[in-house]
Amino acid sequence: MDVPWDRQSQNSTDFRAEISFSERNPAASRVSVDSSGNEQRKENQLLKGAKKIEAPEPQFEDQAVHSVLLSQDASTNHEENEGPEWPIQSDTAFPTPTLLSTLSSQLEASVHSALDGSHASSNSASSSLSQDGSPLSFSAMHTEKNIEPLQSPKQQLVSSLELSQGVHSAAVIATDFEITSGRECASSSAGSSDSVQATKELVHNSAQIPEMTMPKEEKSCHLDGVTSSSSKSSGFDYDVFLSFRGPDTRSGITDFLYTSLLSAGIHTYRDDDELRIGEEIGPELFKAINHSKILIPIFSKGYAFSKWCLNELAQMVECRKSRRQKIMPIFYDVTPSEVCHQAGSYGDAFVSHEKQFDNEVISKWKAALKEVGDLKGWDIDSMTTRREGELVNHIVQTVIAELKRAYLLVTDCLVGIEHHVKEINRMVCGDSEDIEIVGIHGMGGVGKTTLAKIIYNRLSHRFEDCCFISNVRETSQLKGIECLQNQLLSDILKRNWSNISNVDDGIKTIKERLCGKKVLVLLDDVDERIHLNALIGRPVWFVLGSRIIITSRNTDVFNVPEVCFTYELTGMDFNQSLQLFCKHAFGRDHPLDEYADFSNEVVKMTGGLPLALEVIGSLLWGKSKDVWDATLKKLEKVPHEQVKRKLKICYEALDDRQKHIFLDIACLFIGFDKRIVLHMWNDSNLFPGEGLQVLQQMSLIKIGEDNKLWMHDQLRDLGRDIVRQECSMEPEKQTRLWNHEEALDIVMRKKGTDKVEALCLKFDHRLQQSFPNEELRRLSNLRYLEMRPVLDNWRPIGFPATVLPMNPPILAELRWLSCHNLPPVLTLTAFSMMNMVILDLSWSMFSESWDGWGHIKMARNLKVLNLTGCAQLQRTPDLSAHVKLEQLILESCGRLVEIDESIGQLKQLVLLNLRFCRKLRRLPEELVNLESLKELLIDWTSIREI
């Protein structure tokens, strides 16, 4: 049934229309319209003088009933306009998500149609639903003081929808009639047309309606978009902006893509042209487009008929030119050619537009369509099989890859950084087409990396080719500069690159492969000039306009002609230090009154070092005054120059097991996968789950999204200094020997003792020729042993017989044995496998016929077997003896073609990594027996089905 609007009188009037219908008894539907005054309505909700379209009274008891209430309070004159028609539908089972979505759209469209420049100041729609005794309420309201064109900045439109069922509820806020939502947002209700009372409601079940599933609302959150602190720190409010024509794709691919992006944690702004009023793009929409990293227009047959969509597209093109933002178009039921050349429905649209708009506007729209139509995007009609789910998944993965490339994670607690950002922006963020290199230097922990990341994020939208290399100094020491050269090539060329075997080869390859690339590179913690030579060589290798940012504690690194600017980052002033400290100690910008004096003293003692402020603030979070007083007394005894000793206060707050884990990370496991190291700590009864949580809470470590352990340089140095001090600076008594030269010296001089728990050795020519056979036997408490031959000096003849011929096997306490680049003549039979839980033989040169496999079968407690990069391995060994194995890593075994059927006996296997095993074509049938398997990594293999 259609209900016509009463528009006989064109004067300002109050009206109220009520529509009720029952889906079980359509004949019970009723519509009433009342034009009585507002004051009278307040006194009588039945509305005297109402015009009614007669229908039997609806029976609400035990029926699903739907009612819509639309009211108007006229305070201004309005122009002549046709009123909306409200269809009453009663043939749909209620409530369903589809009907809720349809009802929402009908309500919005009807309210907007009624209010589009013609109706007056207060409009609301409400609905109550009930089915089987389960109440469901739905309401929509529009409030406006004066109906004027939307260009007026004073015009404020507020619309709200509220959906609740039982204890579950979802709230939606709309600004300028574009819907946005949040976990905590204001829902509005009106007792009359003159008053609106806003309340706060928590969304308990927002997942039921995808477009209402949003993180916590912020001041900058509008429409269907949501912002995050991570987006803001990169200079953008949103990750993605979606532009589409509502009737064409709203309930189809647009909704699917939007919810998929949100599920992937991508902060997305969704605009709907049907919810727009007026001719021009409002300031909020301009801001959303300008502050979105990726812009996705969804071209459909009706897209060009919407002036809103065309205006948005023109703004996207402007942002692409001026801000280098990425546009990724989707062609849905239209071809790129139709968009580019305005053919088909796009030509029809412009026939209509040319009657209403001047040539300048038409030309701007056509130019935007041509530019975006020529861009690489997704053409669904060209797909072999039209599978929208497959397309959406591909789009989401592409967006994730683009965002990952262009954005680095930065802490939320930023204080006093903007001044430094502006200074460096002035140096490197202009339009200069020169190749500019800027060096940021300062003491450890002062915030160099954070500042450099912010600059990198703000520049990244201008570059297709970006690379961030962290911890250059330490990574080059542990893995060699070749590892960093491989990373640089992989990130810039966007493909896995691991071919660099020596530094000179890497320099030559970088020069050849990256020549002609306009790049943005951030090199973090460079401490030697050779690092710069090996990674960026001469700036002329790159295209004009390239930017390179370097951080270092050593200013001598920057004493080269290629570095254009240097910037010294010093400690924070007192006020900034106090603010940063309070963020970590109290979760606010200033101290509690009773802790003000304590806080001032702490800030004075830390000397303005951000790391010290963060760590000590985290330590004191939620602690009593007694703890604060005791902490201050400790700090007073330490000169503020001695940052390490200050940080040791946090170390002393740990229990013995937590201290053990902290020292292990500081000396051995920075950059290691937490999931692997846990096995050794668990086997040593250190309760690592609790320990790692405490270390994170006290800001002593961080665990990245890739599960890698991270520790700041100052804290790492603190831990290593503690190990040295525990043995009175006598290396032979150290519990952990992480320095290869010191470790080799201890072994060669036969100074090792049972105090040593961890040892890192490199086999060079000296060790090969004169290794003392019995020395390792003295290290009876060794838990971790790392041995890496230096391949350039490796002479295997006679070495195994003279080095490790011991019987019975030694090192019964050994939990972790790491032997990289192991030659096949070395079989490891000298080492006890009784307590071995982690065996890492990465990049070794043995095959499946290696004699050492028989000895390894004795490792009955083995949890992790890492055979990464074993290039000669064509078939996995018999694994039946390792029934406790949880992780099997075979990544980059280039010749692997078969997995032994014994893998089916590994009932506790959780991870099977086969990435980059390019010749592997099939998986064994026994894989179905792996009940605990959670991760199966087979990308870049030849496997086509599982």
3-state secondary structure 630-677: HHHHHHHCCCCCCHHHHHHHHHHCCCHHHHHHHHHHHHHHCCCEHHHH
**Tokens representing residue 350 in the block:** 């412009």
| Contact partners, residue 334, CB within 8 Å, separation at least 6 | 299, 300, 301, 303, 344, 345, 346, 381
Of the residues 18, 162, 178, 312, only one is catalytic, namely 312
Contact 698, 653 (CB under 8 A): yes
Whether 312 is catalytic: yes
Q: Is 699 left (phi over 0), alpha (psi -120 to 50) or beta?
A: left
| DSSP code, position 414 | -
**Tokens representing residue 93 in the block:** 């089972």
Bridge partner residues of 159 (DSSP):
142, 174
Contact 814, 846 (CB under 8 A): no
**Tokens representing residue 760 in the block:** 């890192």
Contact 417, 450 (CB under 8 A): yes
What backbone phi and psi angles, to 5 degrees, belong to 335? Answer: -95, 155
Contact 470, 535 (CB under 8 A): no
Contact 767, 760 (CB under 8 A): no
Count the neighbouring beta carbons within 10 Å of the beta carbon of residue 736.
Answer: 24
DSSP string, 821-841: T--TT---TTB--TT--EEE-
**Tokens representing residue 585 in the block:** 């100690």
Contact 510, 499 (CB under 8 A): no
Distance between CA atoms of residues 373 and 370, nearest Å: 5
| Contact partners, residue 388, CB within 8 Å, separation at least 6 | 252, 253, 256, 380
Query: To 10 degrees, the CA torsion angle through 443, 449, 454, 458?
Result: 110
Q: Beta strand 195-202 with 268-270: parallel, antiparallel or unpaired?
A: unpaired
Bridge partner residues of 438 (DSSP):
549, 565
DSSP string, 143-171: E-SS---TT-TT---EEEEEEEETTEEEE
| Contact partners, residue 154, CB within 8 Å, separation at least 6 | none
What backbone phi and psi angles, to 5 degrees, belong to 37? Answer: -70, 165
Q: Which of 644, 616, 642 is CA-nearest to residue 630?
A: 616
Catalytic residue IDs:
312
